[in-house]
Structure 1
Amino acid sequence: MGDDVVLSFHDSLLRVSDVHLLSGPYWLNDNIIGFAFEFIENVLCKDCSGIFSFISPQVTQFIKLVNEPGELDAFLEPLSLSTKKFVALAVNDSESRSDVGGSHWSLLVLDVDSGVFRHYDSSSQHNHDAARLLARQLARYMRIVSDRFVEEEMPQQRNGYDCGVYAIAVAEELCKSEMHIGDVGSANLASITPSYVESCRQRLRKLISELHDEKIHTPN
Protein backbone atom coordinates (compact mmCIF):
# COMPACT_ATOMS: atom_id res chain seq x y z
CA MET A 1 0.00 0.00 0.00
CA GLY A 2 3.01 2.28 0.46
CA ASP A 3 2.11 5.82 1.40
CA ASP A 4 -1.16 5.98 -0.50
CA VAL A 5 -3.78 8.64 0.08
CA VAL A 6 -6.22 7.47 2.75
CA LEU A 7 -8.62 10.40 2.83
CA SER A 8 -9.35 13.69 1.08
CA PHE A 9 -11.56 15.81 3.34
CA HIS A 10 -12.37 19.42 2.42
CA ASP A 11 -8.92 21.02 2.07
CA SER A 12 -6.99 18.29 3.90
CA LEU A 13 -5.27 15.23 2.44
CA LEU A 14 -4.15 12.31 4.60
CA ARG A 15 -1.75 9.53 3.68
CA VAL A 16 -0.97 6.23 5.37
CA SER A 17 2.08 7.74 7.11
CA ASP A 18 -0.04 10.59 8.53
CA VAL A 19 -2.67 8.29 9.99
CA HIS A 20 0.02 6.04 11.46
CA LEU A 21 1.07 8.89 13.74
CA LEU A 22 -2.20 8.54 15.61
CA SER A 23 -1.26 5.05 16.78
CA GLY A 24 1.30 6.68 19.10
CA PRO A 25 3.53 7.38 20.77
CA TYR A 26 4.15 9.83 17.95
CA TRP A 27 4.13 13.60 17.49
CA LEU A 28 1.30 14.71 15.19
CA ASN A 29 2.17 16.52 11.97
CA ASP A 30 0.44 19.44 10.29
CA ASN A 31 -1.64 17.16 8.05
CA ILE A 32 -3.39 15.47 10.97
CA ILE A 33 -3.97 18.74 12.80
CA GLY A 34 -5.26 20.35 9.62
CA PHE A 35 -7.71 17.48 9.15
CA ALA A 36 -8.89 17.73 12.76
CA PHE A 37 -9.50 21.45 12.35
CA GLU A 38 -11.46 20.85 9.15
CA PHE A 39 -13.63 18.27 10.89
CA ILE A 40 -14.26 20.44 13.95
CA GLU A 41 -15.25 23.45 11.87
CA ASN A 42 -17.29 21.69 9.17
CA VAL A 43 -18.88 18.77 11.04
CA LEU A 44 -18.47 18.61 14.81
CA CYS A 45 -19.36 22.27 15.37
CA LYS A 46 -20.97 23.15 12.07
CA ASP A 47 -23.55 25.23 13.91
CA CYS A 48 -20.63 27.50 14.85
CA SER A 49 -19.31 27.73 11.30
CA GLY A 50 -20.11 31.42 11.15
CA ILE A 51 -18.52 31.96 14.55
CA PHE A 52 -15.22 30.07 14.38
CA SER A 53 -12.58 30.11 11.68
CA PHE A 54 -9.84 27.49 11.90
CA ILE A 55 -6.65 28.36 10.05
CA SER A 56 -4.59 25.48 8.67
CA PRO A 57 -1.12 24.92 10.17
CA GLN A 58 0.54 25.68 6.83
CA VAL A 59 -1.19 29.05 6.51
CA THR A 60 -0.57 29.80 10.18
CA GLN A 61 3.14 29.28 9.68
CA PHE A 62 3.07 31.65 6.73
CA ILE A 63 1.23 34.30 8.77
CA LYS A 64 3.77 34.02 11.55
CA LEU A 65 6.82 34.54 9.36
CA VAL A 66 5.63 36.69 6.46
CA ASN A 67 7.54 39.95 6.06
CA GLU A 68 4.99 42.06 4.21
CA PRO A 69 1.36 42.24 5.45
CA GLY A 70 0.18 42.60 1.85
CA GLU A 71 1.36 39.06 1.14
CA LEU A 72 -1.38 37.74 3.41
CA ASP A 73 -4.26 39.16 1.41
CA ALA A 74 -4.54 36.30 -1.08
CA PHE A 75 -4.56 33.74 1.73
CA LEU A 76 -6.81 35.42 4.27
CA GLU A 77 -9.24 37.70 2.45
CA PRO A 78 -11.46 34.78 1.30
CA LEU A 79 -11.83 33.70 4.95
CA SER A 80 -13.51 36.98 5.99
CA LEU A 81 -11.92 36.75 9.43
CA SER A 82 -13.30 40.08 10.58
CA THR A 83 -16.83 38.65 10.33
CA LYS A 84 -16.04 35.78 12.70
CA LYS A 85 -16.23 35.77 16.47
CA PHE A 86 -13.15 33.61 16.98
CA VAL A 87 -10.09 32.70 14.91
CA ALA A 88 -8.19 29.56 15.97
CA LEU A 89 -4.64 28.73 14.91
CA ALA A 90 -2.30 25.83 15.69
CA VAL A 91 1.03 27.40 16.71
CA ASN A 92 4.33 25.67 15.92
CA ASP A 93 7.81 26.61 17.14
CA SER A 94 9.42 26.10 13.71
CA GLU A 95 11.17 29.12 12.23
CA SER A 96 10.97 27.83 8.66
CA ARG A 97 8.56 29.65 6.36
CA SER A 98 8.40 26.79 3.87
CA ASP A 99 8.07 23.85 6.29
CA VAL A 100 5.91 23.62 9.42
CA GLY A 101 8.16 21.02 11.06
CA GLY A 102 9.09 22.13 14.56
CA SER A 103 8.81 20.23 17.81
CA HIS A 104 5.77 21.60 19.67
CA TRP A 105 2.14 22.56 19.03
CA SER A 106 -0.14 24.87 20.97
CA LEU A 107 -3.42 26.66 20.24
CA LEU A 108 -3.92 30.41 19.79
CA VAL A 109 -7.45 31.81 19.71
CA LEU A 110 -8.34 35.39 18.80
CA ASP A 111 -11.52 36.92 20.18
CA VAL A 112 -12.14 39.22 17.23
CA ASP A 113 -14.47 41.70 18.95
CA SER A 114 -12.24 42.31 21.97
CA GLY A 115 -8.91 41.87 20.18
CA VAL A 116 -7.74 39.46 22.89
CA PHE A 117 -5.44 36.57 21.91
CA ARG A 118 -5.67 33.55 24.23
CA HIS A 119 -2.86 31.03 24.14
CA TYR A 120 -3.34 27.41 25.27
CA ASP A 121 -0.02 25.61 25.73
CA SER A 122 0.26 22.10 27.18
CA SER A 123 3.98 22.47 27.87
CA SER A 124 4.59 25.36 30.25
CA GLN A 125 4.42 28.21 27.72
CA HIS A 126 6.99 26.56 25.45
CA ASN A 127 5.45 28.32 22.45
CA HIS A 128 5.01 31.73 24.10
CA ASP A 129 7.40 33.59 21.78
CA ALA A 130 6.07 31.92 18.61
CA ALA A 131 2.46 32.56 19.64
CA ARG A 132 3.20 36.18 20.54
CA LEU A 133 4.82 36.74 17.14
CA LEU A 134 1.85 35.15 15.39
CA ALA A 135 -0.56 37.32 17.38
CA ARG A 136 1.29 40.49 16.39
CA GLN A 137 1.28 39.49 12.74
CA LEU A 138 -2.43 38.67 12.70
CA ALA A 139 -3.31 41.80 14.67
CA ARG A 140 -1.45 43.92 12.13
CA TYR A 141 -3.29 42.27 9.23
CA MET A 142 -6.69 42.68 10.93
CA ARG A 143 -5.86 46.23 12.09
CA ILE A 144 -6.33 45.39 15.76
CA VAL A 145 -4.76 48.39 17.46
CA SER A 146 -4.56 47.34 21.11
CA ASP A 147 -4.30 43.57 21.01
CA ARG A 148 -3.91 41.78 24.33
CA PHE A 149 -2.19 38.43 24.84
CA VAL A 150 -3.20 36.02 27.62
CA GLU A 151 -1.57 32.74 28.60
CA GLU A 152 -4.48 30.52 29.65
CA GLU A 153 -4.22 27.83 32.31
CA MET A 154 -4.69 24.36 30.93
CA PRO A 155 -3.70 20.73 31.65
CA GLN A 156 -0.05 19.94 30.96
CA GLN A 157 1.18 17.01 28.89
CA ARG A 158 3.27 14.32 30.57
CA ASN A 159 5.37 13.34 27.58
CA GLY A 160 7.07 14.89 24.59
CA TYR A 161 4.66 13.89 21.83
CA ASP A 162 1.03 14.64 22.77
CA CYS A 163 1.07 18.42 22.26
CA GLY A 164 -0.84 18.24 18.98
CA VAL A 165 -3.58 16.12 20.53
CA TYR A 166 -3.92 18.62 23.38
CA ALA A 167 -4.29 21.46 20.86
CA ILE A 168 -7.02 19.54 19.04
CA ALA A 169 -8.80 18.64 22.28
CA VAL A 170 -8.82 22.26 23.46
CA ALA A 171 -10.19 23.41 20.10
CA GLU A 172 -13.00 20.86 20.41
CA GLU A 173 -13.87 21.92 23.96
CA LEU A 174 -13.93 25.62 23.08
CA CYS A 175 -16.23 24.98 20.13
CA LYS A 176 -18.58 22.77 22.11
CA SER A 177 -18.76 25.31 24.91
CA GLU A 178 -19.61 28.12 22.49
CA MET A 179 -22.12 25.94 20.66
CA HIS A 180 -23.97 24.70 23.76
CA ILE A 181 -23.77 27.60 26.21
CA GLY A 182 -22.43 30.49 24.16
CA ASP A 183 -19.29 30.98 26.22
CA VAL A 184 -15.83 29.64 25.36
CA GLY A 185 -14.65 30.78 28.79
CA SER A 186 -16.72 28.01 30.36
CA ALA A 187 -15.02 25.24 28.40
CA ASN A 188 -14.16 22.26 30.61
CA LEU A 189 -10.43 22.07 29.88
CA ALA A 190 -9.86 20.10 33.11
CA SER A 191 -11.47 17.15 31.34
CA ILE A 192 -8.44 16.91 29.03
CA THR A 193 -6.58 14.26 31.02
CA PRO A 194 -3.89 11.87 29.71
CA SER A 195 -6.53 9.17 29.30
CA TYR A 196 -8.77 11.61 27.43
CA VAL A 197 -5.88 12.48 25.12
CA GLU A 198 -5.27 8.82 24.37
CA SER A 199 -8.96 8.31 23.63
CA CYS A 200 -8.81 11.35 21.33
CA ARG A 201 -6.10 9.64 19.28
CA GLN A 202 -8.26 6.53 18.99
CA ARG A 203 -11.34 8.56 18.04
CA LEU A 204 -9.44 10.33 15.28
CA ARG A 205 -8.19 7.04 13.83
CA LYS A 206 -11.70 5.58 13.92
CA LEU A 207 -13.14 8.73 12.36
CA ILE A 208 -10.65 8.69 9.49
CA SER A 209 -11.38 5.02 8.88
CA GLU A 210 -15.13 5.64 8.83
CA LEU A 211 -14.81 8.61 6.46
CA HIS A 212 -12.54 6.54 4.22
CA ASP A 213 -15.07 3.70 4.07
CA GLU A 214 -17.92 6.13 3.50
CA LYS A 215 -16.18 7.63 0.47
CA ILE A 216 -15.46 4.18 -0.96
CA HIS A 217 -19.08 3.09 -0.69
CA THR A 218 -20.67 6.38 -1.75
CA PRO A 219 -21.43 6.58 -5.49
CA ASN A 220 -19.97 9.59 -7.30
Structure 2
Amino acid sequence: MEIYKDNYDILLASIAAGAHWYLAAFFIETKIVVVYDSLHYPIPQIFTRLKSCIESVLHKQFTLKNENNNITLQQNGYDCGVHAFRNAEEICFHGECKLLVPYYAEAERARAREILRRLKDKEITDLWVPHVQSDFDYIDLNKPTDTVAEEVSVVKDDSDIQSIEKTFAQKNIATTVV
Protein backbone atom coordinates (compact mmCIF):
# COMPACT_ATOMS: atom_id res chain seq x y z
CA MET A 1 0.00 0.00 0.00
CA GLU A 2 1.38 3.39 -0.94
CA ILE A 3 0.30 6.33 1.16
CA TYR A 4 1.71 9.76 0.60
CA LYS A 5 1.88 12.25 3.47
CA ASP A 6 0.96 15.15 1.20
CA ASN A 7 -2.47 13.63 0.61
CA TYR A 8 -3.91 14.13 4.11
CA ASP A 9 -3.42 15.68 7.53
CA ILE A 10 -5.64 13.43 9.62
CA LEU A 11 -6.44 9.73 9.36
CA LEU A 12 -9.72 8.70 11.00
CA ALA A 13 -10.46 5.11 11.97
CA SER A 14 -13.65 3.82 13.51
CA ILE A 15 -13.12 1.03 16.03
CA ALA A 16 -15.77 -1.49 17.04
CA ALA A 17 -14.93 -3.40 20.20
CA GLY A 18 -17.75 -5.66 21.29
CA ALA A 19 -20.90 -3.64 20.86
CA HIS A 20 -19.20 -0.26 21.39
CA TRP A 21 -17.84 2.20 18.81
CA TYR A 22 -14.79 4.39 19.29
CA LEU A 23 -13.06 6.82 16.96
CA ALA A 24 -9.30 7.07 16.54
CA ALA A 25 -7.80 10.17 14.94
CA PHE A 26 -4.19 10.03 13.77
CA PHE A 27 -2.88 13.58 13.41
CA ILE A 28 -0.08 13.12 10.89
CA GLU A 29 1.91 16.34 11.36
CA THR A 30 2.03 16.24 15.17
CA LYS A 31 2.34 12.43 15.33
CA ILE A 32 -0.41 12.27 17.94
CA VAL A 33 -3.25 9.78 18.01
CA VAL A 34 -6.41 10.38 20.02
CA VAL A 35 -9.06 7.78 20.81
CA TYR A 36 -12.45 9.41 21.30
CA ASP A 37 -14.89 7.42 23.39
CA SER A 38 -18.30 8.79 24.30
CA LEU A 39 -18.50 6.46 27.34
CA HIS A 40 -14.93 7.21 28.47
CA TYR A 41 -14.12 3.48 28.69
CA PRO A 42 -10.53 2.24 28.73
CA ILE A 43 -9.00 2.08 25.26
CA PRO A 44 -9.82 -1.32 23.69
CA GLN A 45 -7.04 -3.82 23.02
CA ILE A 46 -7.70 -3.77 19.28
CA PHE A 47 -6.46 -0.16 19.22
CA THR A 48 -2.90 -1.31 19.95
CA ARG A 49 -2.94 -3.47 16.82
CA LEU A 50 -4.51 -0.68 14.76
CA LYS A 51 -1.87 1.80 15.95
CA SER A 52 0.94 -0.64 15.10
CA CYS A 53 -0.46 -1.19 11.61
CA ILE A 54 -0.82 2.54 10.92
CA GLU A 55 2.69 3.20 12.24
CA SER A 56 4.17 0.47 10.05
CA VAL A 57 2.43 1.77 6.93
CA LEU A 58 3.24 5.44 7.57
CA HIS A 59 6.70 4.82 9.04
CA LYS A 60 5.87 7.13 11.96
CA GLN A 61 5.48 6.64 15.69
CA PHE A 62 2.34 8.15 17.22
CA THR A 63 1.95 9.29 20.81
CA LEU A 64 -1.40 8.47 22.42
CA LYS A 65 -3.19 11.45 23.90
CA ASN A 66 -6.36 11.28 26.01
CA GLU A 67 -8.90 13.96 25.19
CA ASN A 68 -12.10 12.36 26.46
CA ASN A 69 -12.75 15.42 28.61
CA ASN A 70 -13.22 17.37 25.36
CA ILE A 71 -16.05 15.23 24.00
CA THR A 72 -19.68 14.87 24.94
CA LEU A 73 -20.38 12.05 27.37
CA GLN A 74 -22.96 9.58 26.06
CA GLN A 75 -26.09 9.43 28.24
CA ASN A 76 -27.46 6.08 27.05
CA GLY A 77 -26.22 2.65 26.03
CA TYR A 78 -26.80 2.82 22.28
CA ASP A 79 -25.66 6.12 20.75
CA CYS A 80 -21.90 5.41 20.59
CA GLY A 81 -21.97 5.17 16.78
CA VAL A 82 -23.72 8.53 16.48
CA HIS A 83 -21.18 10.08 18.85
CA ALA A 84 -18.28 8.60 16.84
CA PHE A 85 -19.87 9.91 13.61
CA ARG A 86 -20.37 13.37 15.14
CA ASN A 87 -16.83 13.47 16.58
CA ALA A 88 -15.41 12.53 13.16
CA GLU A 89 -17.39 15.37 11.62
CA GLU A 90 -16.02 17.85 14.17
CA ILE A 91 -12.46 16.69 13.44
CA CYS A 92 -12.99 16.97 9.67
CA PHE A 93 -14.40 20.49 9.84
CA HIS A 94 -12.53 21.93 12.84
CA GLY A 95 -9.48 19.71 13.36
CA GLU A 96 -10.61 18.80 16.86
CA CYS A 97 -13.57 17.59 18.89
CA LYS A 98 -15.49 19.81 21.22
CA LEU A 99 -18.23 19.37 23.75
CA LEU A 100 -21.64 19.49 22.13
CA VAL A 101 -23.83 21.32 24.61
CA PRO A 102 -26.68 20.76 24.60
CA TYR A 103 -26.60 17.34 22.96
CA TYR A 104 -29.93 16.13 21.55
CA ALA A 105 -29.40 12.40 21.02
CA GLU A 106 -32.51 11.66 18.93
CA ALA A 107 -31.98 14.69 16.71
CA GLU A 108 -28.27 13.87 16.23
CA ARG A 109 -29.17 10.29 15.23
CA ALA A 110 -31.77 11.58 12.76
CA ARG A 111 -29.26 14.09 11.36
CA ALA A 112 -26.65 11.34 10.89
CA ARG A 113 -29.21 9.27 8.95
CA GLU A 114 -30.02 12.32 6.81
CA ILE A 115 -26.32 12.97 6.06
CA LEU A 116 -25.79 9.34 5.07
CA ARG A 117 -28.90 9.41 2.87
CA ARG A 118 -27.79 12.63 1.16
CA LEU A 119 -24.28 11.25 0.61
CA LYS A 120 -25.68 8.00 -0.81
CA ASP A 121 -28.01 9.91 -3.14
CA LYS A 122 -25.19 12.35 -4.10
CA GLU A 123 -27.24 15.31 -2.86
CA ILE A 124 -24.39 16.96 -0.95
CA THR A 125 -22.19 19.04 -3.20
CA ASP A 126 -20.74 22.00 -1.32
CA LEU A 127 -23.23 22.84 1.44
CA TRP A 128 -23.10 20.62 4.51
CA VAL A 129 -26.08 19.65 6.63
CA PRO A 130 -26.77 22.25 9.34
CA HIS A 131 -26.10 21.27 12.95
CA VAL A 132 -28.80 20.25 15.40
CA GLN A 133 -30.26 23.23 17.26
CA SER A 134 -33.22 21.63 19.07
CA ASP A 135 -34.69 18.33 20.23
CA PHE A 136 -36.89 18.12 17.15
CA ASP A 137 -34.42 18.85 14.34
CA TYR A 138 -34.38 16.17 11.61
CA ILE A 139 -36.64 13.87 13.68
CA ASP A 140 -39.33 13.59 10.99
CA LEU A 141 -36.85 12.91 8.17
CA ASN A 142 -35.77 9.49 7.06
CA LYS A 143 -37.16 7.55 10.01
CA PRO A 144 -36.17 3.89 10.14
CA THR A 145 -39.07 1.49 9.79
CA ASP A 146 -39.93 -1.64 11.73
CA THR A 147 -41.05 -3.45 8.58
CA VAL A 148 -39.21 -6.63 7.68
CA ALA A 149 -38.97 -8.31 4.29
CA GLU A 150 -41.82 -10.71 3.66
CA GLU A 151 -39.58 -13.69 3.07
CA VAL A 152 -36.20 -14.67 4.48
CA SER A 153 -34.07 -17.46 3.02
CA VAL A 154 -32.02 -19.56 5.42
CA VAL A 155 -29.24 -21.97 4.41
CA LYS A 156 -30.22 -25.51 5.44
CA ASP A 157 -26.81 -26.39 6.96
CA ASP A 158 -26.88 -23.48 9.38
CA SER A 159 -26.98 -24.69 13.00
CA ASP A 160 -29.24 -21.84 14.01
CA ILE A 161 -32.08 -22.67 11.61
CA GLN A 162 -34.49 -23.82 14.30
CA SER A 163 -33.97 -20.74 16.46
CA ILE A 164 -34.24 -18.43 13.42
CA GLU A 165 -37.41 -20.13 12.23
CA LYS A 166 -38.84 -20.00 15.74
CA THR A 167 -38.05 -16.27 16.05
CA PHE A 168 -39.54 -15.52 12.63
CA ALA A 169 -42.60 -17.64 13.38
CA GLN A 170 -43.21 -15.61 16.55
CA LYS A 171 -43.06 -12.45 14.44
CA ASN A 172 -45.21 -13.95 11.63
CA ILE A 173 -42.44 -13.72 9.03
CA ALA A 174 -42.34 -16.37 6.33
CA THR A 175 -39.12 -18.35 5.97
CA THR A 176 -37.84 -20.54 3.17
CA VAL A 177 -35.26 -23.18 3.99
CA VAL A 178 -32.91 -23.78 1.08
Q: TM-score range by the shorter chain?
A: 0.5 to 0.7
Q: Match for residue 44 of structure 1?
A: none
- Percent of aligned pairs with the same residue? 24
Q: Match for residue 203 of structure 1?
A: 111
Which structure shows the bigger proportion of residues in helix conformation? 1
Q: 2:64 is aligned with what amino acid?
A: F
RCO higher in structure (CA 8 A, sep ≥6): 1
**Matching residue within 43, 47, 51 for 1:131:** 47
The 1:193–1:167 alpha-carbon spacing in structure 2 relative to 1, beyond 3 Å, is farther
The separation in 1 between residues aligned to 2:27 and 2:118, in whole angstroms, is: 33
Do the aligned partners of 1:107 and 1:119 also contact (CA within 8 Å) in 2? yes
Indicate yes or no: 2:29 matched with 1:113: yes
Q: TM-score, normalised by structure 2?
A: 0.57
Indicate yes or no: 2:70 matched with 1:150: no
Indicate yes or no: 2:77 matched with 1:169: no
The 1:117–1:103 alpha-carbon spacing in structure 2 relative to 1, beyond 3 Å, is same
Q: Which has the larger radius of gyration?
A: 2
After TM superposition, give the deviation of residue 155 of structure 1 in Å.
Answer: 1.9
The separation in 1 between residues aligned to 2:14 and 2:22, in whole angstroms, is: 6
Q: 1:191 is aligned with what amino acid?
A: L
Q: 1:108 is aligned with what amino acid?
A: A
Q: Match for residue 91 of structure 1?
A: 15
Indicate yes or no: 2:107 matched with 1:191: no
Q: How many residues align?
A: 120
Q: TM-score, normalised by structure 1?
A: 0.48
The separation in 2 between residues aligned to 1:113 and 1:211, in whole angstroms, is: 29
The 1:105–1:209 alpha-carbon spacing in structure 2 relative to 1, beyond 3 Å, is closer
Q: 1:169 is aligned with what amino acid?
A: R
The 1:198–1:213 alpha-carbon spacing in structure 2 relative to 1, beyond 3 Å, is same
Unpaired runs of 5+ in structure 1?
Answer: 1-72, 94-101, 178-183, 216-220
Do the aligned partners of 1:81 and 1:87 also contact (CA within 8 Å) in 2? no
Unpaired runs of 5+ in structure 2?
Answer: 124-178
The separation in 1 between residues aligned to 2:120 and 2:56, in whole angstroms, is: 40
Instruction: Give the SS at the match of 1:190.
Output: coil
Do the aligned partners of 1:118 and 1:151 also contact (CA within 8 Å) in 2? yes
